[in-house]
Structure 1
Amino acid sequence: MAGLGEHITAMVRSHASGDDASFYSVALQIAAREARQGHHVLADDIKKAVDSSRQSRSATSNLTALPQARGDLAELVEATQPNVRLRELVAPQGIVDQIKQVIAEQRQRKALLDHGFAPAHRLLLEGPPGTGKTMTASVLATELALPMFTIRLDGLLSKFMGETASKLRTVFESVAERRGVYLFDEFDALGADRSGNDVGEARRILNSFLVFLEDASPESIVVAATNHRSILDRALFRRFDAILTYSLPDARQAGTVIRARLGSLLAGTSLAKLNALTDGLSHADLVKAAEGAAKAALMRGEPHVTREDLVAALQARRTASIG
């Protein structure tokens, strides 16, 4: 009964805070618990009640309030409501297909869970800085109409390391109670290999994360993003449902990024034979270069970016980023 008592407590708290998403999430966890115990009629009744209540809510209001983190969680996460569609993400088709699969499984999670299958909900994104990892988390939140909770690793990794495991528990309790996309950015700060001399409390923290991740609720999506896959503990990889590997854009993708940022400002300007200047730049670098070219043109009072503007901006960005 202790587990049920904790669920009821969580429901009361979410109801008191007006967080309908968390309330429904916990109710569905109780339904799953009852189903595992063979109480299928009760489980079905709870699910039907949740579905009916959700439909009633959506009929009376089209506005979805962003659930704000409260209490201890407020010091550990930043809540946002992204608005980035999948079509805005410039990435290799393989990455796009993997993201589509995650979105599809999450949208059909009820059917999967009813048959004993969990939707993909633990993702590791790895690759160079500025290649779309954080943007992918925003895409998932937008396409699934979920809030995004970015974990503040500076708040999580306490100087009193004994507190860190407790803070991790608080985050993963929220994963179970409040449906959303939970982003651990710069994850290598937490998930680095501890097999050498760096042992003791740091190893226990990583072990705690592994346990929490293994048991993470499929109602939410946990996303870990890192620029340094090579330093991650090997035990992490088998805990994730999917590993997405990002890379610097090729010439075609670079042109797509620049066109998307400049839009009509690029009218009449050719992007041909800019490969030598775009090679080695990240998506974020290309966006910054496009913005620099746009500002140069607009400040001259001209309605369009010239090729010279782009060349100068790309060269400046290469100097700043590559050296």
Structure 2
Amino acid sequence: MATNDQLKALIKSHSDGDDRQFYSVAMQVAARAARSGQEKFSQELRDLVDDLRRKSVSTTRIASVVPVVQPRGELGSLLSVTYPDARLADLALNPQVDVRLRQVLLEQGRRTDLARHGLTPVRRLLLVGPPGTGKTSTARVLAGELGLPLFAIRLDTIITKFMGETAAKLRLVFDALVETQGVYLFDEMDALAGDRSAANDVGEIRRVLNSFLQFLEQDTSDSVIVAATNHPELLDKAVFRRFESVITFELPDNDAVRSVIKNRLANFRISNLGWKRIIDAANGLSHADITLAAENAAKSAVLTGRGQIRTDDLIVALDDRRDLSRHRGEVS
């Protein structure tokens, strides 16, 4: 049940007309009830909050169940928070990935309908694929579409040489998932969840992974967990079983190349571009590299006083990105 402080906070936020704080405290009460075994009351309270949110008229893109605050104390060193306004239409994804993400958004948006039938929406996603193919951007889009904050977990501050400290920090993060609904991004997941059978592994790392897997299994929050890796082959096999959806990102095909460039150069004249040459030059580059090449071509057009992007400008910019990618070992 609610604590005295929570009851006072509910009354004060209602009196002040602070809907965000009111919903936030109500969700904290629901989370506390769930941890106390009062699952029915917890779900009823969550349903009431969802109904109130749908009926309220708000201009903000941030979900009203989430307070607009930065993580405090030790949690502040483990998480960074942003409030994205990105949309799925902003991404140039292959059709299969697009369909799967839309299904995730549909289930999240209809969580109340699913709950009436004893079902829960997908809320643990593992994104795999080469660098720059849109994995991190997808986490931003999910947060933007759902109207939730995006919490990026800082693995460099979580992982220490002392297993007990690392497990305790992970516990703080998973407690935050319950207290504050959001999209939680574990980037470079292989640093945390490497294969336990690897020859150079040590016992501490195996115990950290076991703790992480246990926290995943025990998590019953409404938050969305997104893990991303460029090296799925390094992940322990048990990790894949803990995620409800594993989505593979690939380098852009011809249609995606055209879409990325058109989206980025929407404010410029591009009617005379030689697409065959451009697509050939972009072959093997990531979404991120193609986007940066388009931006560089646009800068060239602006600084030379031209209002139209030239094919040669794009070719040069794409070649420059290829050289950089080759130095990073990302293309041959």
**TM above 0.5:** yes
- Find the aligned partners of 1:112 and 1:14 in 2 and give their Cα distance: 31
2:49 maps to which residue?
50
**Corresponding residue of 1:302:** 306
User: 1:190-229 maps to which residues of 2 (within 5 A)?
Assistant: 190-195=192-197, 196-229=199-232
Identity of aligned residues (%): 45
Let me know the Cα RMSD of the aligned residues: 2.8
In the other structure, the counterpart of 1:135 is 137
Confirm or deny: 8 A CA contact 1:118 1:218 kept in the other structure: no
Normalised by the size of structure 1, how large is the TM-score?
A: 0.87
Alpha-carbon distance change, 159 to 269 in structure 1, aligned in 2, over 3 angstroms: farther
**Which amino acid counterpart does residue 309 of structure 2 have in structure 1?**
V
Instruction: Give distance in 2, aligned partners of 1:193 and 1:24.
Output: 40
CA distance in 2, matches of 1:14, 1:247: 48
Cα distance in structure 2, aligned partners of 1:91 and 1:62: 29
SS of 2:294's equivalent in the other structure is: helix
Compare 187-196 and 284-293 and name the one that shifted more.
Answer: 187-196
Question: 2:302 is aligned with what amino acid?
Answer: L
Gaps of 5+ in 1: none
Aligned residues of 1:124 and 1:225 also touching (Cα < 8 A): yes
The gaps in structure 2 that reach 5 residues or longer are 14-19, 328-332
Choose which of 229, 237, 260 in structure 2 pairs with 1:257.
260
Instruction: Give the aligned partner of residue 245 of structure 2.
Output: 242
Contact kept, 8 Å, 1:21 with 1:179, in 2: the verdict is: no
Aligned-partner residue type, residue 320 of structure 2:
A
Q: What's 1:162 paired with? A: 164
TM-score by length of structure 2 reads 0.85
Partners of 1:87 and 1:125 in 2: CA distance: 19
CA distance in 2, matches of 1:225, 1:13: 40
SS in 2 for 1:183: strand
- Which one-letter code corresponds to 1:259 in the other structure? K
Q: 1:49 to 1:260 in 2, by over 3 A?
A: closer
Q: Name the SS for the 1:69 alignment partner.
A: coil
Distance in 1, matches of 2:53 and 2:232, equals 40
Cα deviations by residue, 1:202-252 (Å, 9 ceiling, x for unpaired) = 111100110111122341000000000000000100100100000000111
Q: Could you tell me whether the CA contact under 8 Å between 2:195 and 2:237 is conserved in 1? A: yes
- Letter aligned with residue 290 of structure 1: A
Runs of 4+, deviation exceeding 6 Å: 12-18
Paired residue type of 1:294: A
Cα deviation, residue 281, structure 1: 0.2
